Amino acid sequence: MPPAVSAQLDLVGLTRALVDIDSTTGSEAPAGRWLADYLRAQSFTVIEQPVDDGRFNVLASVAPNPVVVFSTHFDCVPPFFPSRVEGGRIYGRGSCDAKGILAAQIAAADVLRRSGETRVGMLFVVGEERGSDGAKASAPLAAGCRYLVNGEPTDLRLGLATRGLYRVKLKASGRAAHSAFPELGESAIDKLLDALVMLRTIALPSDPVLGTTHYTVGLIAGGVAPNVVSPTAEAELLFRTVTEADAVQDALAPLAPLVGFEHVFDMPPVTMITVPDMNTAVFPYGTDIPFLGAWGSPLLYGPGSIHVAHTSDEYLDIEVVRFGPQLRVDKQISADALDVIVPSMLLQPLVENSIKHGLSRKVGGGRITIRAARRDHRVVIEVVDDGLGMTDERLQEAFQGGIGLSNVNERLRTIYGAGSGLKLTSAPGRGTSVSIEIPELAVAERATA
């Protein structure tokens, strides 16, 4: 059962819970039930929209008829493998595409709701990986929506446009004959190969933003036996289109004397709206957006890289899904401190502590400032965050419960004597400052630091 409502959403726990439910396309029902129950437990209003065979889309909202809707899919490609956390990453099928994104969208909606915003909703659909049947079915739920933020792995860049898809089978027909007398037959495989070679010489449609249409020959089959002239052959091609599919069909017309055409699937390219001062990019892959037109003007955005989606090592960086571009690091290093040698394992734990304990529970991100300066032949290093901060009582316990801080404190005392150590100040709601002051190391000392 999903956990009860809490003051802060556990993004890592939520992502792993979703990843650990096998939702390979066609088998999304268990994940859908878990997700719907979870959102109800978080006090969202939930609608389960049937699609087929027990599969359903999930619409969650704060109030009826949301104006802005976050959307992504919860189906995944095969094979399923469960989650694990390793090296600051969540591994598992769907961690990147797109269950980590889904968890981040829930957190974003929750932040808006807690600020008093009621016009936000979430649409989580089935079937994106195989034909977008969930997206196609969702239109009746879209009353009043003006903007759709569709989540896919874009490396936190807004999508300017995405290419479309056109899948087609090229089918060649021949006449079977004994291979000892090939002149009595007509080879369908030869015709198909000639068509594929001719295709390489054909100019395909192009677009100034999306570039030139390209394709892959994904499947090929033909013949009945090695000693028989092949009576049939076919190849299935997938074009990444920059125009409507009919422009590609027109370009393929010179192949008609050799092969016939069987339409499999097509999806048009899409242009999205963008936001000033945000990084943008054009993406060559398809999304549900062409079938979500009823939901208003689309934006495409999400953490993670498409290069790891669908792979055997699919992952999502934890800090990326927590903070996105909202984790800001300012470095205020004075010029005379740039050549200072700091003993190993002093600075890194302080920064990690600020992220883990100061900012990780602060959904919405924050800022870390690293300062360093020389003063009277000593070096002062300070790490400041604007996170949740600590009470005086918690401040007194910090060195007892925090392995990172206690290790740094002990290392300082070991290197520089009992009088050295960390200085820690904090205020609830305002953040924490950790500073160290160390003597400048002589040349001989630097070699052993």
Q: DSSP string covering 51-83, please?
A: EETTEEEEEEESSSS-SEEEEEE--BPSPP---
Q: In Å, how far are 33, 139, 330 from 51, measured between CA atoms?
A: 14, 12, 48
User: 449: helix, coil or strand?
Assistant: coil
Residue 234: its H or E element: strand 232-241
Catalytic residue among 128, 152, 234, 314: 128
Residue 237's closest CA among 139, 168, 134, 149? 168
Q: Would you say 41 and 2 are in contact if contact means Cβ atoms under 8 Å apart?
A: yes
DSSP letters spanning 259-314: -EEEEEEEE--EE----TTS-EEEE-S--SGGG-GGG-EEEE--SS-TTTTTSTT-
Alpha-carbon dihedral angle through residues 390, 392, 397, 398, given to the nearest 10 degrees: 40
CA–CA distance, 16 with 5 (Å, rounded to integer): 17
11-19 helix and 29-41 helix, angle to the nearest 10 degrees: 160
| Structure tokens given for 9 | 């959403």
**How many CA atoms within 13 Å lie on the side-chain side of 305?**
8
109, 140, 266, 446 from 145: Cα distances, Å: 15, 11, 26, 62
Determine contact, residues 28/48, Cβ cutoff 8 Å: no
Clarify whether 128 is annotated catalytic. yes
Report the C-alpha dihedral over residues 395, 397, 400, 401, rounded to 10 degrees. Answer: -90
Neighbours of 283 (CB within 10 A): 21
Q: Which residues contact 410 (CB under 8 A, 6 or more apart)?
A: none
**Which residue type is seen at 83?**
S
The helix (run of H) or strand (run of E) holding residue 175 is none
- The distance from CA 99 to its chain's CA centroid, rounded to whole angstroms, is 8
CB count within 10 Å of CB 419 equals 7
Task: Tell me which residues are annotated as active site.
Answer: 128
